[in-house]
């Protein structure tokens, strides 16, 4: 017996040792959007560290025939990488070599919307990839890339499914991967930001069949909580819509709670036809993930008139308060605030005050009297009311003109839109944006890359008389972004259309009108006559133009914004003083900053030796347990690695094109990689067409 025990004990200890090793071994995959359901961009992989990160080299590159903006945060599962190309084809690669395994999508169909990645589901036997192209959600076999015929209609589900009848012909797509929990996929959707927006209901579908499981009405129906915060029957008013989640969601799987940040109600900038607080627009919603039942909510902007969508999924973290651990949810915002709540009760973990704001508004408008402001942490971006007349770009060639412009514009906090002009800072793109924040979930530290690009908001009264002719059609639907003379504004992200007839055909233009492109939503609800007239006008094909009359006599939106105009100097640089972007490390246990630095270089100034100005950026960071912050995002086209404890830069490399995307990190066969999508295109930088993976030599 003693001999048997003597043999058994070493085996037992060996088993315990192996079990402990396996349990402590860091997860090698990046199987969820932004690294996990907590959306913390966090990894415990430690092969790449503070001492050797400077040695990183390109391990492989995957290039595609199409080029253009890519925002994808690729997934890696069991040695296979799943990503999206710039023309929205899904693909699978060997994650160690970059060799293509399969690709799905029509190579001749260039979907114009950007896409931030795919979702992965498995029940242990089946493995599926789910992604969106246009208004369809596709389910693919993860091994072959072939559609799952039992899902939806032969593998695809129309994202209009489950929306009310008034959404039938309206613009509905998705830029962001759906959130998967058990056998559910909960879908974010992108909608129009005008009065023609579809309702932004939150919907969960069965990931196996595509059938609708539950729906939460963000514009409440009679008898539902929040119905009284809108005019009567707003939910079925064709001129009121949106209040949608487009940025993605986070999940507490232990408690079965999904946290859903929502955006503005449409029309974004005039709300006279939606008087009230407008729940559940601009809210962080906590829902029971299995039923869609509301557990709690907090509204971060009341009766939004400034496009203050919640721009990214929240971060699920644990903070320490008076020696006690509290599971928390932290939501970043475009306006530069972090709102922090108890994950279960919704109780704010830092004081939030309702601060009085101006209600002086355009005729017919009724702004809300107060807006919420957290007292901690301090804002990570400058606010418009902090901007002084002297806070102009010191490198500008027209300082007097900039000073005069700032002086003439309203700069009060949450000042209602005007016809003379309001300074919006942070601008319509934040502050925080869709790249989201990284976090150390156990230490309660959050890391945010923030824009500080001021924009001007100028409203224009709409003429309600019928408009006739092609030019009038263009002025009605396109001029606010592309300019009255088709000149565009490339620095603001809007291309000129005056010469488009030389490089594109009518079919391309019709596709853009229907599907949208980049920031531009589609207009599928327009009549074919109007679409044809616009395409003929842009193609200078006068013989095909029909004299369509646009009847605005029933127009419900009397004021429209003239465009998403950046406040720039005469050379196209930001008009305000730098930094124009920052990286911020905030301890959410105390609400205090650990460090704050400029992020990126403005390329035109870097060429003449001026650095650390900060540069516009889109995409987020990776945070590693062993002390790294890894980020591309900036328009200068570099990937940088910082010491996340101090903010010190320890490595930077020039990418083949700017990477307006969040990287992923994973390990295959004992080797750790960092991969990032380099598509360029946005902010006027050159196009790219590659995913690039880095590893140690």
Asked if residue 595 belongs to a domain, the reply is: no
Asked if residue 480 belongs to a domain, the reply is: yes
- Coil vs helix vs strand at 467: strand
Neighbours of 297 (CB within 10 A): 17
Read off the pLDDT of each residue in 384-406 and give the average, rounded to a whole number: 96
Asked if residue 218 belongs to a domain, the reply is: no
Asked if residue 502 belongs to a domain, the reply is: yes
Per-residue pLDDT at 226 exceeds 90: yes
Read off the pLDDT of each residue in 23-36 and give the average, rounded to a whole number: 86
pLDDT attached to residue 384: 95
Cα separation values, 490 from 456, 460, 476, 572, 627, Å:
16, 22, 20, 9, 38
The confidence band for 291, taking pLDDT boundaries of 50, 70 and 90, is very high
pLDDT attached to residue 514: 67
Tokens of 84: 């999206």
Asked if residue 322 belongs to a domain, the reply is: no
Phi, psi of 295 (to 5 degrees): -100, -45
Cis, bond preceding 426 (omega within 30 deg of 0): yes
Tokens of 348: 């704010």
Q: Provide the Cα torsion 503, 508, 513, 517; round to 10°.
A: -70
| Beta carbons of 563 and 485 less than 8 angstroms apart | no
| Beta carbons of 623 and 41 less than 8 angstroms apart | yes
Average pLDDT, the chain: 91
Edge-to-edge strands, sheet with 136-141: 119-122, 127-133, 136-141, 156-158
| Beta carbons of 537 and 473 less than 8 angstroms apart | yes
Per-residue pLDDT at 531 exceeds 80: no
d(CA 154, CA 132): 15
Burial code (b: 16+ CB inside 10 Å, e: under 16) for 172-204 equals bbbbbbbbbbeebbbbbbbbbbbbbbbbbbbbb
Per-residue pLDDT at 9 exceeds 50: no
Asked if residue 497 belongs to a domain, the reply is: yes
Cis, bond preceding 377 (omega within 30 deg of 0): yes
Tokens of 631: 């980020």
Asked if residue 484 belongs to a domain, the reply is: yes
Per-residue pLDDT at 88 exceeds 80: yes
Give the least confident one: 172-176, 182-186, 530-534.
530-534
Neighbours of 648 (CB within 10 A): 11
Query: Which is more confidently placed, 45 or 27?
Result: 45
Give the least confident one: 291-295, 332-336, 368-372, 563-567.
563-567
pLDDT attached to residue 651: 98
By residue range, what is the domain housing residue 550? 463-554
pLDDT attached to residue 519: 60
Tokens of 147: 């559609």
Strand-pairing partners, residue 690, are: 63, 678
pLDDT digits (tens, 9 = 90+) for 196-217: 999 999 999 999 999 999 999 9
Asked if residue 139 belongs to a domain, the reply is: no
pTM (predicted TM-score): 0.91
d(CA 515, CA 171): 8
pLDDT digits (tens, 9 = 90+) for 63-75: 988 889 999 999 9
pLDDT digits (tens, 9 = 90+) for 103-118: 998 765 655 578 999 9
pLDDT attached to residue 19: 43
pLDDT attached to residue 463: 78
pLDDT attached to residue 474: 74
pLDDT attached to residue 482: 81
Read off the pLDDT of each residue in 274-291 and give the average, rounded to a whole number: 98
pLDDT attached to residue 337: 98
pLDDT attached to residue 550: 63
Neighbours of 324 (CB within 10 A): 7
Percent pLDDT > 70 in the chain is 88
Query: Which is more confidently placed, 203 or 495?
Result: 203
Neighbours of 697 (CB within 10 A): 7
Per-residue pLDDT at 160 exceeds 80: yes
pLDDT attached to residue 21: 41
Give the least confident one: 246-260, 314-328, 450-464, 661-675.
450-464
- Coil vs helix vs strand at 599: coil
Tokens of 416: 């209602």
CATH number of the structural domain spanning residue 509? 1.10.760.10
Alpha-carbon Rg for the chain in angstroms? 25
pLDDT attached to residue 209: 98
Per-residue pLDDT at 290 exceeds 70: yes
DSSP H or E run through 501: helix 500-503
Per-residue pLDDT at 37 exceeds 70: yes
DSSP H or E run through 605: helix 603-606
Cα separation values, 25 from 19, 130, 164, 317, 670, Å:
10, 28, 48, 21, 12
| Beta carbons of 444 and 587 less than 8 angstroms apart | yes
Number of domains in the chain: 1
pLDDT attached to residue 201: 98
Per-residue pLDDT at 14 exceeds 50: no
């Amino acid at each position: 017996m003693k001999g048997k025990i003597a043999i058994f004990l070493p085996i037992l200890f060996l088993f315990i040792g192996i079990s402990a090793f396996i349990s402590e071994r860091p997860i090698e995959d990046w199987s969820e959007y932004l690294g996990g359901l907590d959306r913390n961009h966090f990894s415990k992989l430690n092969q790449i560290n503070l001492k050797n990160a400077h040695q990183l080299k390109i391990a492989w590159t995957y290039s595609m025939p199409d080029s253009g903006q890519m925002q994808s945060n690729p997934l890696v599962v069991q040695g296979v990488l799943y990503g999206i190309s710039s023309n929205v084809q899904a693909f699978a690669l060997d994650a160690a070599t970059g060799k293509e395994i399969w690709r799905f999508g029509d190579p001749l169909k260039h979907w114009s919307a950007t896409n931030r990645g795919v979702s992965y589901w498995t029940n242990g036997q089946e493995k599926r990839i789910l992604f969106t192209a246009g208004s369809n959600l596709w389910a693919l076999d993860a091994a072959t890339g072939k559609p799952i015929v039992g899902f939806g209609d032969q593998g695809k589900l129309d994202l209009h499914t489950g929306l009310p009848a008034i959404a039938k012909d309206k613009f509905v797509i998705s830029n962001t991967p759906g959130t998967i929990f058990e056998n559910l996929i909960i879908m974010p959707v992108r909608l129009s930001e005008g009065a023609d927006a579809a309702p932004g209901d939150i919907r969960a579908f069965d990931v196996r069949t595509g059938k609708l499981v539950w729906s939460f009405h963000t514009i409440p129906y009679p008898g539902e909580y929040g119905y009284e915060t809108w005019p009567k029957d707003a939910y079925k008013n064709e001129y009121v819509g949106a209040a949608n989640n487009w940025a993605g969601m986070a999940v507490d799987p232990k408690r079965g709670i999904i946290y859903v940040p929502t955006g503005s109600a449409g029309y974004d900038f005039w709300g006279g036809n939606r008087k009230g607080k407008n729940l559940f627009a601009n809210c962080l919603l906590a829902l029971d993930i299995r039923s869609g039942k509301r557990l709690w909510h907090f509204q971060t902007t009341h009766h939004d008139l400034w496009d203050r969508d919640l721009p990214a999924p929240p971060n699920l973290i644990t903070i320490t308060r008076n020696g006690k651990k509290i599971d928390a949810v932290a939501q970043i915002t475009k306006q530069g605030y972090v709102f922090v709540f108890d994950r279960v009760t919704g109780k704010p973990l830092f004081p939030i005050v309702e601060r009085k704001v101006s209600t002086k508004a355009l005729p017919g408008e009724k702004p809300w009297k107060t807006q919420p402001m957290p007292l901690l942490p301090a804002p990570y971006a400058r606010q418009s009311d902090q901007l002084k007349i002297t806070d102009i770009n010191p490198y500008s060639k027209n300082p007097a003109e900039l000073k005069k412009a700032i002086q003439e514009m309203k700069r009060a906090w949450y000042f209602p839109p005007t016809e003379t002009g309001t300074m919006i800072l942070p601008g319509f793109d934040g502050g925080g944006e869709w790249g989201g924040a990284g976090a150390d979930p156990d230490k309660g530290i959050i890391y945010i890359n923030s824009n500080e690009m001021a924009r001007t908001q100028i409203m224009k009264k709409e003429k309600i008389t019928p408009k006739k002719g092609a030019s009038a059609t263009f002025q009605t639907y396109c001029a606010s972004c592309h300019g009255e003379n088709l000149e565009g504004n490339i620095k603001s992200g809007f291309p000129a259309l005056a010469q488009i007839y030389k490089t594109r055909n009518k079919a391309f233009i019709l596709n853009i009108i229907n599907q949208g492109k980049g920031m531009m939503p589609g207009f599928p609800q327009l009549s074919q006559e109007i679409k044809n007239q616009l395409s003929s006008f842009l193609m200078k094909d006068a013989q095909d133009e029909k004299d369509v009359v646009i009847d605005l006599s029933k127009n419900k939106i009397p004021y429209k914004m003239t465009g998403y105009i950046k406040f720039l100097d005469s050379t196209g640089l930001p008009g305000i003083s730098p930094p124009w972007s920052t990286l911020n490390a905030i301890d959410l246990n105390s609400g205090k900053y650990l460090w704050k630095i400029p992020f990126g270089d403005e390329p035109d100034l870097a060429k003449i030796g001026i650095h650390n100005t900060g540069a516009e950026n889109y995409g987020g960071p990776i945070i590693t347990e062993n002390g790294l912050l890894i980020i591309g995002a900036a328009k200068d086209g570099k990937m940088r690695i910082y010491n996340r404890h101090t903010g010190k830069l320890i490595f930077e490399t020039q990418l083949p094109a700017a990477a307006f995307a969040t990287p992923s990190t994973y390990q295959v066969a004992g080797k750790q990689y960092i991969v990032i999508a380099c598509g360029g295109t946005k902010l006027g930088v050159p196009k790219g067409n590659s995913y690039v993976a880095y590893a140690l030599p």
